[in-house]
Amino acid sequence: MSIRLKTLLTGVVASVAAAGSALAAYPERPITMIVPFAAGGPTDTVARIVGEHMSKTLGQTVVIENVTGAGGTTGITRGAQAAPDGYTIMMGHMGTHGAAPALYPNLKYDPTTDFTPIGLAAGTPIIIVTKKDFAAKDLKEFIAKMKAEGPKLNEGNAGVGSVSHTTCTLLTSQLGIKTARVTYKGTGPMINDLVGGQIDFGCDQIVSVAPQIKAGTIRALAIATPERSPALPDVPTTKEAGMPDYQVSAWNAVFGPKALPADIAAKLNDALVKALDDENTRKRLLDLGGTIADKPGRSQAALQKLVESEVARWTPVLKAAGISAAVNPAGATSGATPPPAAAPAPAAAPAQK
Protein backbone atom coordinates (compact mmCIF):
# COMPACT_ATOMS: atom_id res chain seq x y z
CA MET A 1 0.00 0.00 0.00
CA SER A 2 1.36 3.39 -0.91
CA ILE A 3 2.19 5.88 1.83
CA ARG A 4 -0.38 8.27 0.39
CA LEU A 5 -3.18 5.67 0.51
CA LYS A 6 -2.15 4.66 4.04
CA THR A 7 -2.34 8.29 5.20
CA LEU A 8 -5.73 8.72 3.56
CA LEU A 9 -7.15 5.57 5.20
CA THR A 10 -5.81 6.59 8.61
CA GLY A 11 -7.54 9.94 8.19
CA VAL A 12 -10.86 8.30 7.25
CA VAL A 13 -10.67 5.90 10.21
CA ALA A 14 -9.90 8.80 12.56
CA SER A 15 -12.80 10.91 11.35
CA VAL A 16 -15.27 7.98 11.52
CA ALA A 17 -14.12 7.32 15.10
CA ALA A 18 -14.46 11.01 15.97
CA ALA A 19 -17.99 11.11 14.52
CA GLY A 20 -18.88 7.97 16.49
CA SER A 21 -17.62 9.36 19.76
CA ALA A 22 -19.38 12.69 19.09
CA LEU A 23 -22.65 10.81 18.79
CA ALA A 24 -21.92 8.79 21.91
CA ALA A 25 -21.18 12.02 23.78
CA TYR A 26 -24.29 13.88 22.55
CA PRO A 27 -25.47 16.09 24.14
CA GLU A 28 -22.41 17.86 25.53
CA ARG A 29 -24.09 21.24 26.04
CA PRO A 30 -27.60 22.65 26.52
CA ILE A 31 -30.16 22.09 23.77
CA THR A 32 -32.31 24.98 22.56
CA MET A 33 -35.97 24.20 21.96
CA ILE A 34 -37.55 26.97 19.89
CA VAL A 35 -41.15 27.74 20.85
CA PRO A 36 -42.63 29.82 18.03
CA PHE A 37 -45.11 31.68 20.28
CA ALA A 38 -45.03 33.81 23.42
CA ALA A 39 -44.39 32.41 26.89
CA GLY A 40 -47.42 31.26 28.84
CA GLY A 41 -49.38 29.92 25.86
CA PRO A 42 -50.16 26.29 25.03
CA THR A 43 -47.07 25.51 22.95
CA ASP A 44 -44.81 27.05 25.57
CA THR A 45 -46.64 25.17 28.32
CA VAL A 46 -46.27 21.78 26.60
CA ALA A 47 -42.61 22.52 25.71
CA ARG A 48 -41.71 23.46 29.28
CA ILE A 49 -43.45 20.41 30.77
CA VAL A 50 -41.87 17.82 28.45
CA GLY A 51 -38.57 19.76 28.16
CA GLU A 52 -38.08 19.56 31.92
CA HIS A 53 -38.12 15.76 31.92
CA MET A 54 -36.19 15.48 28.65
CA SER A 55 -33.41 17.49 30.35
CA LYS A 56 -33.15 14.83 33.07
CA THR A 57 -32.88 11.98 30.55
CA LEU A 58 -30.43 13.80 28.28
CA GLY A 59 -28.26 15.09 31.13
CA GLN A 60 -28.32 18.58 29.62
CA THR A 61 -30.80 21.41 30.01
CA VAL A 62 -33.40 21.88 27.29
CA VAL A 63 -33.59 25.67 27.14
CA ILE A 64 -36.84 27.15 25.82
CA GLU A 65 -36.38 30.07 23.43
CA ASN A 66 -39.56 31.92 22.40
CA VAL A 67 -39.14 33.16 18.81
CA THR A 68 -42.46 34.73 17.83
CA GLY A 69 -44.04 36.15 14.69
CA ALA A 70 -46.11 35.34 11.59
CA GLY A 71 -48.36 32.78 13.27
CA GLY A 72 -45.41 30.71 14.49
CA THR A 73 -43.71 30.46 11.09
CA THR A 74 -40.84 32.83 12.05
CA GLY A 75 -39.58 30.56 14.83
CA ILE A 76 -40.13 27.40 12.83
CA THR A 77 -38.25 28.87 9.86
CA ARG A 78 -35.32 29.59 12.16
CA GLY A 79 -35.48 26.03 13.53
CA ALA A 80 -35.63 24.53 10.04
CA GLN A 81 -32.52 26.48 9.04
CA ALA A 82 -30.49 25.58 12.16
CA ALA A 83 -27.49 23.24 11.98
CA PRO A 84 -28.69 19.62 12.12
CA ASP A 85 -26.54 18.81 15.15
CA GLY A 86 -29.23 18.19 17.77
CA TYR A 87 -28.58 21.43 19.64
CA THR A 88 -31.55 23.25 18.10
CA ILE A 89 -34.95 21.57 18.07
CA MET A 90 -38.44 23.08 18.05
CA MET A 91 -42.01 22.60 19.23
CA GLY A 92 -44.26 22.83 16.19
CA HIS A 93 -48.01 22.32 16.05
CA MET A 94 -51.08 21.85 13.92
CA GLY A 95 -50.75 25.43 12.66
CA THR A 96 -47.04 25.62 11.85
CA HIS A 97 -46.92 22.10 10.37
CA GLY A 98 -50.48 21.66 9.08
CA ALA A 99 -52.20 24.94 8.23
CA ALA A 100 -49.27 27.21 7.30
CA PRO A 101 -48.61 25.85 3.76
CA ALA A 102 -52.15 26.78 2.68
CA LEU A 103 -51.87 30.29 4.12
CA TYR A 104 -48.31 31.44 3.39
CA PRO A 105 -47.53 31.33 -0.34
CA ASN A 106 -43.92 32.26 0.45
CA LEU A 107 -43.43 29.88 3.35
CA LYS A 108 -39.71 29.10 3.61
CA TYR A 109 -40.18 25.52 4.74
CA ASP A 110 -42.12 22.45 3.72
CA PRO A 111 -43.47 20.72 6.85
CA THR A 112 -43.33 17.34 5.11
CA THR A 113 -39.71 17.44 3.91
CA ASP A 114 -37.70 20.07 5.82
CA PHE A 115 -37.72 18.51 9.30
CA THR A 116 -36.66 15.46 11.21
CA PRO A 117 -39.75 14.39 13.16
CA ILE A 118 -38.90 13.62 16.80
CA GLY A 119 -42.32 12.84 18.29
CA LEU A 120 -45.79 13.96 19.29
CA ALA A 121 -45.82 15.72 22.68
CA ALA A 122 -49.53 16.28 23.35
CA GLY A 123 -52.96 16.49 21.78
CA THR A 124 -54.70 19.76 22.66
CA PRO A 125 -58.49 19.97 22.16
CA ILE A 126 -59.97 23.35 21.23
CA ILE A 127 -62.30 25.30 23.51
CA ILE A 128 -64.37 28.36 22.61
CA VAL A 129 -63.82 30.88 25.42
CA THR A 130 -65.22 34.33 26.19
CA LYS A 131 -64.47 37.03 28.71
CA LYS A 132 -66.25 36.18 31.93
CA ASP A 133 -68.99 38.82 31.70
CA PHE A 134 -69.68 38.35 27.99
CA ALA A 135 -73.40 38.78 27.28
CA ALA A 136 -73.95 35.21 26.13
CA LYS A 137 -74.09 32.53 28.74
CA ASP A 138 -73.94 29.52 26.44
CA LEU A 139 -73.02 28.54 22.88
CA LYS A 140 -76.52 29.11 21.48
CA GLU A 141 -76.63 32.68 22.80
CA PHE A 142 -73.06 33.21 21.60
CA ILE A 143 -74.01 32.10 18.07
CA ALA A 144 -77.00 34.47 18.06
CA LYS A 145 -74.81 37.33 19.25
CA MET A 146 -72.10 36.53 16.70
CA LYS A 147 -74.67 36.52 13.90
CA ALA A 148 -76.12 39.83 15.09
CA GLU A 149 -72.93 41.69 16.00
CA GLY A 150 -69.97 39.72 14.57
CA PRO A 151 -67.95 42.64 13.14
CA LYS A 152 -68.19 44.48 16.47
CA LEU A 153 -66.88 41.54 18.50
CA ASN A 154 -63.15 41.32 19.20
CA GLU A 155 -61.71 37.89 18.48
CA GLY A 156 -58.18 37.26 19.76
CA ASN A 157 -55.75 35.00 17.89
CA ALA A 158 -52.04 34.28 17.57
CA GLY A 159 -51.63 35.30 13.92
CA VAL A 160 -52.47 33.86 10.52
CA GLY A 161 -52.04 30.11 10.51
CA SER A 162 -51.84 29.73 14.27
CA VAL A 163 -54.18 27.20 15.85
CA SER A 164 -56.36 29.93 17.38
CA HIS A 165 -56.62 31.72 14.02
CA THR A 166 -57.28 28.56 12.02
CA THR A 167 -59.85 27.14 14.39
CA CYS A 168 -61.70 30.44 14.92
CA THR A 169 -61.67 30.92 11.14
CA LEU A 170 -63.39 27.59 10.85
CA LEU A 171 -65.93 28.71 13.47
CA THR A 172 -66.75 32.11 11.94
CA SER A 173 -66.74 30.62 8.48
CA GLN A 174 -69.28 27.98 9.50
CA LEU A 175 -71.43 30.76 11.00
CA GLY A 176 -71.00 32.85 7.83
CA ILE A 177 -69.78 35.94 9.69
CA LYS A 178 -66.69 38.08 10.16
CA THR A 179 -65.32 39.48 13.41
CA ALA A 180 -62.83 42.14 14.46
CA ARG A 181 -59.58 40.20 14.78
CA VAL A 182 -56.90 41.17 17.26
CA THR A 183 -53.53 39.50 16.75
CA TYR A 184 -51.09 38.54 19.51
CA LYS A 185 -47.66 36.90 19.63
CA GLY A 186 -49.32 33.88 21.18
CA THR A 187 -52.44 32.98 23.09
CA GLY A 188 -50.62 33.49 26.42
CA PRO A 189 -50.91 37.29 26.07
CA MET A 190 -54.26 36.88 24.32
CA ILE A 191 -55.75 35.08 27.32
CA ASN A 192 -54.36 37.81 29.63
CA ASP A 193 -56.41 40.30 27.60
CA LEU A 194 -59.46 38.03 27.69
CA VAL A 195 -59.18 37.90 31.48
CA GLY A 196 -58.85 41.70 31.49
CA GLY A 197 -61.92 42.05 29.26
CA GLN A 198 -60.07 43.84 26.41
CA ILE A 199 -61.25 41.23 23.89
CA ASP A 200 -64.50 39.24 23.70
CA PHE A 201 -63.63 35.70 22.71
CA GLY A 202 -61.16 33.26 21.20
CA CYS A 203 -60.62 29.63 20.27
CA ASP A 204 -57.71 28.21 22.21
CA GLN A 205 -56.02 24.96 23.13
CA ILE A 206 -57.22 23.48 26.38
CA VAL A 207 -53.79 23.40 28.08
CA SER A 208 -53.66 27.18 27.97
CA VAL A 209 -57.19 27.95 29.19
CA ALA A 210 -58.02 25.16 31.65
CA PRO A 211 -56.57 26.97 34.72
CA GLN A 212 -58.43 30.21 33.90
CA ILE A 213 -61.70 28.36 33.25
CA LYS A 214 -61.35 26.55 36.58
CA ALA A 215 -60.56 29.84 38.32
CA GLY A 216 -63.62 31.48 36.72
CA THR A 217 -61.63 34.33 35.18
CA ILE A 218 -62.87 33.41 31.68
CA ARG A 219 -65.89 31.42 30.50
CA ALA A 220 -65.83 28.21 28.43
CA LEU A 221 -68.74 27.74 26.02
CA ALA A 222 -67.89 24.39 24.46
CA ILE A 223 -65.10 21.96 23.68
CA ALA A 224 -64.85 20.97 20.00
CA THR A 225 -64.27 17.25 20.55
CA PRO A 226 -66.74 14.34 20.47
CA GLU A 227 -66.34 13.75 24.23
CA ARG A 228 -66.01 16.09 27.21
CA SER A 229 -62.54 16.46 28.69
CA PRO A 230 -61.88 14.76 32.05
CA ALA A 231 -59.96 17.92 32.98
CA LEU A 232 -63.06 20.12 32.50
CA PRO A 233 -66.04 17.78 32.92
CA ASP A 234 -68.56 20.65 33.18
CA VAL A 235 -67.73 22.09 29.76
CA PRO A 236 -70.20 20.73 27.16
CA THR A 237 -69.12 19.49 23.76
CA THR A 238 -70.01 21.55 20.69
CA LYS A 239 -72.41 18.74 19.78
CA GLU A 240 -74.20 19.01 23.11
CA ALA A 241 -74.16 22.80 23.02
CA GLY A 242 -75.66 23.23 19.55
CA MET A 243 -72.88 23.34 16.95
CA PRO A 244 -72.23 19.66 16.14
CA ASP A 245 -70.31 20.35 12.94
CA TYR A 246 -67.65 22.35 14.75
CA GLN A 247 -65.16 19.55 15.55
CA VAL A 248 -61.50 20.42 15.76
CA SER A 249 -58.49 19.47 17.83
CA ALA A 250 -54.82 20.46 17.75
CA TRP A 251 -51.47 18.91 18.69
CA ASN A 252 -47.93 19.96 19.58
CA ALA A 253 -44.86 17.99 18.52
CA VAL A 254 -41.06 18.11 18.64
CA PHE A 255 -39.09 18.47 15.41
CA GLY A 256 -35.43 18.84 14.49
CA PRO A 257 -34.07 20.35 11.30
CA LYS A 258 -33.87 18.09 8.27
CA ALA A 259 -30.92 15.64 8.12
CA LEU A 260 -30.49 15.26 11.85
CA PRO A 261 -28.25 12.19 12.34
CA ALA A 262 -30.44 9.16 13.03
CA ASP A 263 -28.75 8.37 16.39
CA ILE A 264 -29.34 11.90 17.67
CA ALA A 265 -32.98 11.87 16.53
CA ALA A 266 -33.46 8.49 18.24
CA LYS A 267 -31.91 9.83 21.47
CA LEU A 268 -34.27 12.82 21.42
CA ASN A 269 -37.27 10.59 20.68
CA ASP A 270 -36.27 8.31 23.57
CA ALA A 271 -36.08 11.32 25.92
CA LEU A 272 -39.52 12.51 24.78
CA VAL A 273 -41.05 9.04 25.16
CA LYS A 274 -39.56 8.75 28.66
CA ALA A 275 -41.03 12.15 29.55
CA LEU A 276 -44.47 10.96 28.42
CA ASP A 277 -44.08 7.81 30.53
CA ASP A 278 -43.14 9.79 33.61
CA GLU A 279 -45.98 9.91 36.12
CA ASN A 280 -45.52 13.54 37.12
CA THR A 281 -45.13 14.79 33.52
CA ARG A 282 -48.23 12.86 32.45
CA LYS A 283 -50.24 14.22 35.36
CA ARG A 284 -49.24 17.79 34.54
CA LEU A 285 -50.33 17.40 30.90
CA LEU A 286 -53.52 15.47 31.68
CA ASP A 287 -54.57 17.88 34.46
CA LEU A 288 -54.44 20.65 31.86
CA GLY A 289 -56.64 18.59 29.50
CA GLY A 290 -53.83 17.54 27.13
CA THR A 291 -53.96 14.06 25.67
CA ILE A 292 -50.96 11.74 25.39
CA ALA A 293 -50.35 9.46 22.44
CA ASP A 294 -49.99 5.73 22.96
CA LYS A 295 -46.53 4.21 22.35
CA PRO A 296 -46.87 3.72 18.57
CA GLY A 297 -48.24 7.26 18.26
CA ARG A 298 -45.07 8.69 19.81
CA SER A 299 -42.72 7.35 17.14
CA GLN A 300 -40.88 9.46 14.61
CA ALA A 301 -42.69 7.68 11.78
CA ALA A 302 -46.11 8.38 13.33
CA LEU A 303 -45.32 12.10 13.53
CA GLN A 304 -44.21 12.20 9.89
CA LYS A 305 -47.51 10.54 8.92
CA LEU A 306 -49.49 12.99 11.06
CA VAL A 307 -47.82 16.01 9.43
CA GLU A 308 -48.53 14.69 5.96
CA SER A 309 -52.16 14.00 6.81
CA GLU A 310 -52.60 17.40 8.48
CA VAL A 311 -51.27 19.32 5.47
CA ALA A 312 -53.62 17.31 3.25
CA ARG A 313 -56.52 17.87 5.67
CA TRP A 314 -56.18 21.63 6.18
CA THR A 315 -55.10 22.80 2.73
CA PRO A 316 -58.49 22.38 0.98
CA VAL A 317 -60.43 23.70 4.01
CA LEU A 318 -58.38 26.90 4.28
CA LYS A 319 -58.21 27.47 0.55
CA ALA A 320 -62.02 27.12 0.43
CA ALA A 321 -62.30 29.66 3.24
CA GLY A 322 -60.38 32.12 1.06
CA ILE A 323 -57.80 33.22 3.64
CA SER A 324 -54.17 33.95 2.90
CA ALA A 325 -51.32 35.62 4.74
CA ALA A 326 -50.46 37.19 1.38
CA VAL A 327 -53.58 39.35 1.44
CA ASN A 328 -53.66 39.70 5.19
CA PRO A 329 -49.98 39.68 6.23
CA ALA A 330 -50.41 41.08 9.72
CA GLY A 331 -53.13 38.61 10.51
CA ALA A 332 -55.42 41.52 11.30
CA THR A 333 -59.11 41.93 10.61
CA SER A 334 -60.03 39.98 7.54
CA GLY A 335 -61.61 41.99 4.82
CA ALA A 336 -64.46 39.82 3.67
CA THR A 337 -66.77 37.21 5.01
CA PRO A 338 -65.23 33.93 3.92
CA PRO A 339 -67.45 31.27 2.40
CA PRO A 340 -68.44 28.63 4.97
CA ALA A 341 -65.75 26.03 5.41
CA ALA A 342 -66.60 22.43 6.06
CA ALA A 343 -65.06 20.97 9.18
CA PRO A 344 -61.93 19.04 8.23
CA ALA A 345 -62.04 15.30 8.62
CA PRO A 346 -61.03 14.46 12.18
CA ALA A 347 -57.26 14.29 12.78
CA ALA A 348 -55.69 11.12 14.04
CA ALA A 349 -56.16 12.39 17.59
CA PRO A 350 -53.54 11.08 19.97
CA ALA A 351 -55.03 8.33 22.08
CA GLN A 352 -54.90 8.92 25.80
CA LYS A 353 -53.01 6.18 27.57
Interface residues toward ligand MLT, by CB under 6 A = 37-38, 41-44, 72, 93, 95, 158, 162-164, 186-188
Q: Which is nearer to ligand MLT, 78 or 93 (CB)?
A: 93
Alpha-carbon span 276 to 288, nearest angstrom: 14
Q: Which is nearer to ligand MLT, 45 or 300 (CB)?
A: 45
Taking the complex as a whole, the smallest distance from the CB of residue 37 to ligand MLT amounts, in Å, to 3
Residue 203's DSSP bridge partners are 128
Residue of closest CB approach to ligand MLT: 41
In order of 61, 105, 138, 186, 306, the CA distances from 314 in angstroms are 35, 15, 28, 21, 12
Nearer to ligand MLT, 260 or 311 (CB): 311
**Cβ 173 to ligand MLT, closest distance in Å?**
17
Query: Whose CA is closest to 96, among 169, 32, 160?
Result: 160
Considering the complex, what minimum distance in angstroms separates the CB of residue 278 from ligand MLT?
A: 22
> Which DSSP helix (H) or strand (E) runs through 287?
helix 279-287
Cβ closest to ligand MLT, residue 37 vs residue 142: 37
Burial string for 162-173 (b: 16+ CB within 10 Å, else e) reads bbbbbbbbbbbb
Q: How far apart are CA 212 and CA 218, in angstroms?
A: 6
Nearer to ligand MLT among residue 51 and residue 86 (C-beta): 51
User: 22 vs 195, which CB is nearer to ligand MLT?
Assistant: 195
Identify which of residues 44 and 200 has a Cβ nearer to ligand MLT in the complex.
44
Q: Give, in degrees to the nearest 5, the angle at Cα 285 between 283 and 286.
A: 65
Minimum CB–partner distance for residue 174 and ligand MLT (Å): 18
Q: What ranges make up the beta strands (E) of the chain?
A: 31-35, 62-66, 88-93, 115-131, 154-157, 180-183, 201-205, 218-223, 249-257
Do 254 and 34 meet the contact criterion of CB atoms below 8 Å apart? no
**Residue 315 contacts by C-beta under 8 Å, 6 or more apart in sequence?**
101, 102
User: To the nearest whole angstrom, how small is the minimum distance from the Cβ of residue 207 to ligand MLT?
Assistant: 9
CB of 83 to ligand MLT, least distance (A): 25
Q: How far is the CB of 74 from ligand MLT (least distance, A)?
A: 13
- Rounded-to-integer distance, Cα 304 and Cα 301, Å: 5
Contact 131, 299 (CB under 8 A): no
